[in-house]
Structure 1
Amino acid sequence: MIFYRLNYLSFIIFVIAGIIFYNDYALYVLLGILLLMPVISYFLTKKSIDKLNISLDLDKSNIGKNTPVKVTFCVENKSFVPVENIRVSYEIKNCFYGNKQGYEINLIAIPFKKKKLEFNFDSIYCGRVEISVKKVMVYDIFSLFGFEKNVNLIKDVAVCPYVIKKTENIPLSDSGRSDEEELSSIKGDDVSQISQIRDYIPGDKLQNIHWKLSAKKEEIQVKEYSMPYSDDVVLLINSYVNKDEPKVFDEVIEKTYGIALDLIDQGRRFYFTWFDNKEMVFKKKEVNNRDELMEAILDFFYVNTSEVLKNDYEIYSKEMDGKGEIVLFVSDDKVKNDEGETIDIGSERVVLKCLY
């Protein structure tokens, strides 16, 4: 804007100099026009601001990692005054890690029409990505005056885990819980404790197949269950985030998601659990299927994480009140926990502990 003002003043000085040296009537007229037009432009632009509607929309509410989402800025001009320079400053931020990037775009408002500007963005990390407009400046046609327009535009998109392969063989064959309605009268279809290994019978569920033993014997072997599960399964994700190493917490989320998929495929009901560091409470979501898992993940994306290294299981264990639970605790390997059994999930930085 300073550049345009300097140009304008230079032109005024040039015209005044012409009047001094040539005393031409036309130069007086030109000077009058030059002085009057910015005044008219100022008041017209200021009046048109209230008739400018700016909106922000996303074409998806949740996406996978590295999947583009379309962002649309739309400006509607309900006045007869064209506005050729609307500068929008906005910010994209991952709410887990606080990493943010600022951008600017320029919009044009045509009288009595809508004008859209679209672009795509994606995220390499899971979490809730927030797009917020920080400032909108509306400039007159000569770019001599700028007016700030008050807007409150915030949209967010959930970037969900992308799991190529679920985490398999979670050792809960003798624990967990199932409702009676989940049990079946078909032989070998009871979701309960293992009583024996037998040959495959048509109608058996895939999650009951013992894949390792089947590979050894070169024929399908099935785990047969005898009694319902007695313990609740709690899938607890630690809320510590090292913002200097976002890849680690991102892997914690992906591994937790993979474990959850395996539990679902085993027919096990479990509780997706996390600690909210602002409300200072544990939040639990019952999960029976993939739709409920996705709902739990989306709720988890609003968690208030902790930058202080801590063990959420230590807090949780004090609140168990002696209930029979199996806790699958997923955390960064910096979180020290000597209790329970460590389960190999194929990660150098993420640890899964099974605690009874």
Structure 2
Amino acid sequence: MISFLIGIITAAIVFYMSMIYGNAALALLGCFMCVFMVLTFIALLVKAHRAVAAINIPIAIATQGESIRVSLSCRLKEAGFYGVKYRVTVKNNLSGEKSTKWLSGGSDFLYSVNLCGNYEFELVRIKLYDFSRLFYVTKRVKKYANVEVMPQIDEIPVRITDRVRNFFGDSDIYDDLRPGYDPSELFDVREFQNGDRLQSVHWKLSARTDELMVKENSLPKACAVAIVADLKGIKKGRQTDAFMKLLVSLSFSLMDQKCSHYVAWYDTAINDIVRARVDDEEGFYIFLNSFLKIKPDTKNDALFLYEEKYRAEKLVCLLSVDGRLQIKRGEEIVGRADEKNEIVI
């Protein structure tokens, strides 16, 4: 609308000059400008009503430091459509950083993602221009596209003690490689060996094979370690990014050591503690995908809330990563983001 306001002011000046100098040509020019603006305004309103804008990110996952390709388009069937500009707002939900810019054309553009987290791209509005590119109308649009930006992962030296490796506890997940003590889940059936108990003989299978066959029970894979993401008091921005890098690197290093563990955090969407179990790479990336989408809670004490919610649970080691980029076990600091000391759990 600003372009038409400038056009009206210009036409008024032309009319004023024609009255001062008694120039019929200037008066005719002013009339032409007014008619042109009215017809252009009506045509652009029709085009804006029929225009369909869209935003799309072909690859919705990236690594920190990369550039992602964002596609903007505006579909319009009528002829005489000579240009469009897009107003796009980009927000990182994890760090809270936000930026807005106008982009021209209907093609792709590259956006550099320097921080990890969930980036939300919102197409806010578009400007539609006439053939002269002097006048335009603005149309509000609400279109969204998201991309997950993975943090860089550093190796954190971790030494797993026998107490953690040999931890026995209840679990719904069982070891695929080792038999155990849980009779509710069958691990394998094998031939009878000296020392096997008669109670473990599989009598039906033994009758069919004419050999004594023994059932092996499964071994529950209980988690001996939990990591709590304590974001209380953290400053959004670069510090949040460093916190995320430390937390993810710690979880990945434990997973790499075959140490099953929980990662827990306070979810502002449900106002409660949630946690994800990490046993392998699949579990790690499921946790990462969930955590990247959160809005950091800087008020609640996540460690205290976790201990309250799971106070009956037995763990060997409860770790926390806090806003000062420290890894703590209780009140003891066992690691920092700027250090490469071995962490023993």
- With over 3 angstroms needed to count, the CA separation of the structure-2 counterparts of 1:55 and 1:3, relative to structure 1, is same
Which residue is 1:59 aligned to? 58
Alpha-carbon separation, structure 2, partners of 1:50 and 1:228: 61
- The answer to which structure, 1 or 2, has the higher relative contact order (CA under 8 A, 6+ apart) is 2
Which residue is 2:70 aligned to? 71
Cα contact 2:94–2:240 (8 A) shared by 1: no
1:296 paired with 2:287, answer yes
Cα contact 1:311–1:336 (8 A) shared by 2: no
Q: CA deviation at 1:66?
A: 0.8
Deviations 1:303-325 (A, max 9, x none): 232233x5311111111132112
Structure 1, gaps ≥5 residues long: 108-115, 186-226
Alpha-carbon separation, structure 1, partners of 2:294 and 2:19: 65
Q: CA deviation at 1:70?
A: 0.9
Q: CA deviation at 1:132?
A: 1.3
Which residue is 2:323 aligned to? 332
Cα contact 2:69–2:109 (8 A) shared by 1: yes
Which residue is 2:308 aligned to? 318
Amino acid at match of 2:175: E
1:87 paired with 2:81, answer no
Aligned partner of residue 148 in structure 1, secondary structure? strand
Which residue is 1:36 aligned to? 35
Which residue is 2:177 aligned to? 183
Q: CA deviation at 1:286?
A: 2.0
Q: CA deviation at 1:257?
A: 1.4
Cα contact 2:88–2:121 (8 A) shared by 1: yes
Aligned partner of residue 54 in structure 1, secondary structure? strand
Cα contact 1:341–1:353 (8 A) shared by 2: no
Aligned length: 296
- 1:3-22 equivalence runs, <5 A: 3-13=6-16, 20-21=22-23
Aligned partner of residue 36 in structure 1, secondary structure? helix
Amino acid at match of 2:177: L
More deviation, 338-347/255-264: 338-347
Match among 109, 134, 137 for residue 127 of structure 2: 137
Deviations 1:242-269 (A, max 9, x none): 335x333222211221122222222222
1:104 paired with 2:94, answer no
Deviations 1:323-351 (A, max 9, x none): 11232211123899782543235536xxx
Alpha-carbon separation, structure 1, partners of 2:311 and 2:231: 22
1:168 paired with 2:157, answer yes
1:287 paired with 2:281, answer no
Deviations 1:105-146 (A, max 9, x none): 234xxxxxxxx2322112222211111123333344556765
Match among 237, 242, 249 for residue 234 of structure 2: 242
Cα contact 1:127–1:160 (8 A) shared by 2: yes
- 1:191-230 equivalence runs, <5 A: none
Amino acid at match of 2:157: E
Cα contact 1:275–1:312 (8 A) shared by 2: yes
Alpha-carbon separation, structure 2, partners of 1:47 and 1:74: 18
Alpha-carbon separation, structure 1, partners of 2:161 and 2:18: 88
Aligned partner of residue 312 in structure 2, secondary structure? coil
% identical aligned pairs: 14
Aligned partner of residue 47 in structure 2, secondary structure? helix
Cα contact 1:68–1:120 (8 A) shared by 2: yes
Cα contact 2:127–2:139 (8 A) shared by 1: yes
Amino acid at match of 1:149: K
Alpha-carbon separation, structure 1, partners of 2:336 and 2:160: 12
Alpha-carbon separation, structure 1, partners of 2:326 and 2:293: 22
Structure 2, gaps ≥5 residues long: 180-218
Cα contact 1:69–1:121 (8 A) shared by 2: yes
Alpha-carbon separation, structure 1, partners of 2:15 and 2:291: 61
Amino acid at match of 2:104: N
Q: CA deviation at 1:230?
A: 5.6
Alpha-carbon separation, structure 2, partners of 1:167 and 1:336: 11
Q: How large is the Cα RMSD of the aligned pairs?
A: 3.4
Aligned partner of residue 321 in structure 2, secondary structure? strand
Alpha-carbon separation, structure 1, partners of 2:110 and 2:150: 17
Cα contact 1:241–1:249 (8 A) shared by 2: no
Amino acid at match of 2:145: K
Deviations 1:20-54 (A, max 9, x none): 34x57xx7765554332222212111111122121
- With over 3 angstroms needed to count, the CA separation of the structure-2 counterparts of 1:170 and 1:93, relative to structure 1, is farther
What is the TM-score of this pair, normalised by structure 2? 0.73
Alpha-carbon separation, structure 2, partners of 1:4 and 1:301: 48
Aligned partner of residue 285 in structure 2, secondary structure? helix
Aligned partner of residue 311 in structure 2, secondary structure? coil
